[in-house]
Structure formats: structure tokens, C-alpha cells
Amino acid sequence: MAVRVQYWAALALTAANLGCCTPIREPTTTTDRPVKIVILGDSLTAGFGVPWDAAFPARLQRALQDKGIAATVENAGISGDTASDGLRRLDRSVPEGTEAVILELGANDAERGVDPNVTKMALESMLRRLKNRHIEVLLTGFKAPADKPSDYARAFDAIYPALAANYSFVWYPFILDGVAGDPRYIQFDGEHPNADGVNVIVERILPQAEELIARVRAARRP
């Protein structure tokens, strides 16, 4: 009996010593897990004319990771989509579990001369639905091409500032800022950014993307 007691005492002491020497890992908090972002857009998101890993979503995810920011960025871009097309596929393109959406739509509306009221209504509907789902949004703006009539251009260009004034989301006034009109950053079609152009977009929009992520993390806190 004495031997058995000594055995269990020794075993308990060994376990205690191991416990002292084994580092205790704190559980990962909900604010630390990667933020799930979907970019809902057109060819500017899909990556028309560039490799998949050079498209806007992939480059943005890499830029965030390089800054030590944990995030996954899903590519939900379809070339040719208008804002109304995005509205129709919103629920299937933005699955459950998505915490943030970068809404990049409207370029094709402007190219085709879609009624600005139609574009605005589609964007506003998406913003309302995302808000109801408690999903944070970064809205990227667009400007009418130079060949459009001045009255159309004024009406179209007013869409995004008006939405920004009415909704509390992050917004970036012009997705092609620093890229449009610069042949160094545009493909031969004269419209779509090349890989270097995508890098410019990512570099310029990165502060807004960080603000979007900060809002998600703040919303996670109990």
C-alpha cells in the first residue's frame, strides 16, 4: 500500500512539474480571426485581362497580409455586370458568414448609358440589404466616361456622393483613381487596368479597406 501511495504521489508531482513548464496558450478571440470579405463587382473585380492572382481581390488580400492583417478576400466579380445584375445575384454572391463587402459596380452602367436613377436604386437596394444582414460595406465610386453628354455625366457622377451622404459606410470615390487615363496602367483596350494598374488601385484603397476591417472587428466585440 505504501508503495502504491508513493507511486501516485510521484505521478502527481511529475504532472504538476510538466504543467509548470508547458506554456499556456490563450484561446484566439473572436476579434482575432480573419475577416471574411467579398468583393462584389464587374470586370474590374473579376480581373479581366490579368492572371487570377493579379486581380483586385487577390492583390488586396496579399497587401493586407503583408501588413499583418488577417483577412480573406473572395472574388465575386463577373465581367459585364451592371448594378442591377449585382442586385439580382447579391444573396448567392455574398454567402452567410460574410462580414464585409466591397461593392464595386456601376462602370458598365456608365458605359452603356443606363439611367442613373436605375443604377442608384440598384446600389441603394444592395446597401439596405447588406445593412439588414449586419454586413459592413465599402462602396467604390465610378465616373461617367468623357464621351457621355454632360447632363448624363452630372447625374451619374452624383450617384455615389449622394449614397455616401445617406448611409454610414466606408466609401472610395473613384475606383480607377490614379489609373484612368494613364497608359502605363491600362491594357490595350483602353479601359481595364493591367497588373500594375491593379497594384495602384490596391495601394490607394488600402486605407479604406483597413477602416472597413476595423469596423468589423469593433462590431465583433460583445
Q: Which domains does the chain have, with CATH numbers?
A: 34-220 (3.40.50.1110)
Helix (H, G, I), strand (E, B) or coil at 142: coil
User: Which is the catalytic residue, given 42, 43, 93, 109?
Assistant: 43
pTM: 0.86
User: Which is the catalytic residue, given 42, 84, 93, 192?
Assistant: 192
Joined grid coordinates for residue 7: 507511486
| DSSP code at position 135 | -
Joined grid coordinates for residue 60: 488586396
Does the active-site annotation cover 192?
yes
In the chain, the DSSP E strands lie at 35-41, 71-77, 100-104, 136-140, 170-172
Does the active-site annotation cover 134?
no
User: Which is the catalytic residue, given 66, 147, 151, 189?
Assistant: 189
Q: Kindly give the confidence (pLDDT) of every residue in the chain, 222 residues in length, as a single tens digit, with 9 standing for 90 and above.
A: 444 444 444 444 444 444 444 443 433 455 579 999 999 999 999 999 999 999 999 999 999 999 999 999 999 999 999 999 999 999 999 999 999 999 999 999 999 999 999 999 999 999 999 999 999 999 999 999 999 999 999 999 999 999 999 988 999 999 999 999 999 999 999 999 999 999 999 999 999 999 999 999 999 987
